[in-house]
Amino acid sequence: MEIVLVEPEIPGNTGNIARLCAANHMTLHLVKPLGFSLDSKYLKRAGLDYWHLVDVQVHENLQEVYDKYPDRRYFYATTKAEHTYADVEYQIGDMLVFGKETKGLPEELLAQHRESCIRIPMVEEARSLNLSNSVAIIAYEAMRQLDFPDLKEIGRGVPYFPETKA
C-alpha cells in the first residue's frame, strides 16, 4: 500500500499519516502545493520520532506520481463515490489517493476515475471525516485484506480475551 496526499493543508494530519505509514511500511507521497513547510514543528510533532521509518516522496503534481508508477492501481477517496472502501479487493502496491482537507480531490479527477472512487459510509448530515482518520480506516482495511504484510507476528494466534473460569 502507498498513500498519496494531494495538496494536504494541515501539518498535524500529514504528520499523523506519516506515523501510520511508518508503522506499516507504507510509502507516503505528498503532491504539491503543500499547505505547510516540511520543516513545520506541527508536522514533526505529529509524526513523533517515526520520521526515520517512513519513506516520504514529494511530487510536483499528480501526473508525476502517475508517470513514476504507471502500472499501479489507484483508488480515490471521496464522499461522492458509489462504491465503499470495503467493496475493493486490494492488492500489494495499490495507491490510495486522498485530497486536501478543505475541498477533497478535484471534481475533474473524480469524473475521470469514477469506477476507482471509494467512500467511507457515514450519515448524510456529516460532511466528511478527518483526513488522517480516513486514511487510517481505508489503509487498515486494505492491510487486513492482505493479512497485514510485512508486519510482526506479535500476538498471532493468542486470544485477546483470556477465558474466564466459571
Q: Which residues are annotated as a binding site for S-adenosyl-L-methionine?
A: 99, 120, 128
Superfamily of domain 2-145: SPOUT methyltransferase, trefoil knot domain (3.40.1280.10)
Q: Which single residue is written with the C-alpha cell 473524480?
A: 110
Q: What cell does 112 get?
A: 475521470
Q: Are 17 and 132 in contact (CB under 8 A)?
A: yes
pLDDT digits (tens, 9 = 90+) for 104-162: 999 999 999 999 999 999 998 988 899 999 999 999 999 999 988 877 555 555 555 55
Q: What is the reported pTM? A: 0.89
Q: Helix/strand/coil (H, E, C) string of the chain?
A: CEEEEECCCCHHHHHHHHHHHHHCCCEEEEECCCCCCCCCHHHHHHHHHHHHHCEEEEECCHHHHHHHCCCCCEEEECCCCCEEHHHCCCCCCCEEEECECCCECCHHHHHHCHHHEEECCCCCCCCCCCHHHHHHHHHHHHHHHCCCCCCCCCCCCCCCCCCCCC
Residue 164 has pLDDT above 80, yes or no: no
pLDDT digits (tens, 9 = 90+) for 65-96: 999 999 999 999 999 999 999 999 999 999 99
Start-to-end C-alpha separation, the chain: 45
Residues placed in the known binding site:
99, 120, 128
